Amino acid sequence: MNAKKTAEMPDSSVRLSVESYAKQSAKSKAGFAALANGEDFDIVAAVGGKRGIAESVIPGFVFVVLFAFSRNLGMTVIISAVVAGLQVLVRLFQKQSFMGALSGIFSVGICLIWAWASKDARNYYLPGFITNAVWTVLLLISVAIKLPGIALIVEYVRKPVLSGFGKWIDSWKNNRELLRAYSVVTWIWIALFALRLTVQVPLYLSNRIEWLGTARLVMSTPLFAATVWASWLMLFKPMHNRKIAEQEAAETQASQSESAQSESVQSDTARSDESQSVAAQSDTAYSKTFE
């Protein structure tokens, strides 16, 4: 018995972790969670809020401006790293959540290390090219196998699963209106990543660092925000319709359950009355035998 309980504990822990993640995702309004929230949408919150926008833009802005004026890669890398680190420290000092800033400094750190190690300021932007290329390829594959990548991400944020993936996929894939919207949205994101590469890679190859840095700033948070907004517009109606259908199905199920319960009570009452009637008849017959 104890062994059985011990064996079940990891599953319970994982299940609790997933449920906690689901609740946290439901409260979040940033990134793909903004799409999963459906009707409750805020474009500023979707890109991390005003502070998140500033924290995502400032390190890249500092890098391109400093290098453009100084042409000193070492100084540019050091100051950019200090600025990114200060963002995390300020959040810690103010006792605010610093996970977003921490992930940001991790990304910036990779870019800075790459530029420093290669002794080429252009390579600050190389990890971004790789990221955009990987996203483009993965999303194209997802479209080819008719499982839109954005659908997988948004639906998982909306309802994380550990098992029954086939049933989970069917729950949204069989909704033609929703699947069609997810397909369009996936192509929108493919266009975003492909456009970044189309514009920025030639600037990288031609060593136009100032223009490359400017293009990166314009095509990062602003273009990301526009893409999230366009995605929400495409998904709003089908997700709203699904929500109404789910509510109606739940109400119907509840009504059927109440009806079945009522019939069961009536059936039990009828059986009880019948039993009492039979018992009364038996008592009467038994009494007559002694008259």
Q: In 3D, which of 102, 121, 150 has the Cα closest to residue 216? A: 121
Tell me the C-alpha to C-alpha distance, in Å, between residue 96 and each of 87, 89, 91.
11, 10, 5
Compute how many other C-beta atoms are within 10 angstroms of the C-beta atom of residue 187: 15
Helix and strand counts by DSSP (H, E) for the chain: 12, 0
What tens digit of pLDDT does each residue of 164-207 get?
Answer: 888 999 989 999 999 999 999 999 999 999 999 999 999 999 99
- At 46 the pLDDT is 78
Tell me the C-alpha to C-alpha distance, in Å, between residue 135 and each of 33, 44, 61, 86, 132.
18, 23, 24, 30, 5
- At 27 the pLDDT is 46
Compute how many other C-beta atoms are within 10 angstroms of the C-beta atom of residue 27: 9
Compute how many other C-beta atoms are within 10 angstroms of the C-beta atom of residue 149: 20
- At 106 the pLDDT is 83
What tens digit of pLDDT does each residue of 80-131 get?
Answer: 999 988 888 887 787 776 666 677 778 888 999 999 999 999 999 999 999 9
- At 7 the pLDDT is 41
Residues 52, 132: Cα–Cα separation, whole Å: 21
Residues 15, 12: Cα–Cα separation, whole Å: 5
Categorize the per-residue pLDDT at 258 as very low, low, confident or very high, splitting at 50, 70 and 90: confident
What is the arithmetic mean of pLDDT over 280-287? 52
- At 246 the pLDDT is 81
CA angle 183, 186, 192 (to 5 degrees): 145
The pTM of the full predicted model, rounded to 2 decimals, is 0.75
Compute how many other C-beta atoms are within 10 angstroms of the C-beta atom of residue 171: 16
CB 212 within 8 A of CB 204: yes
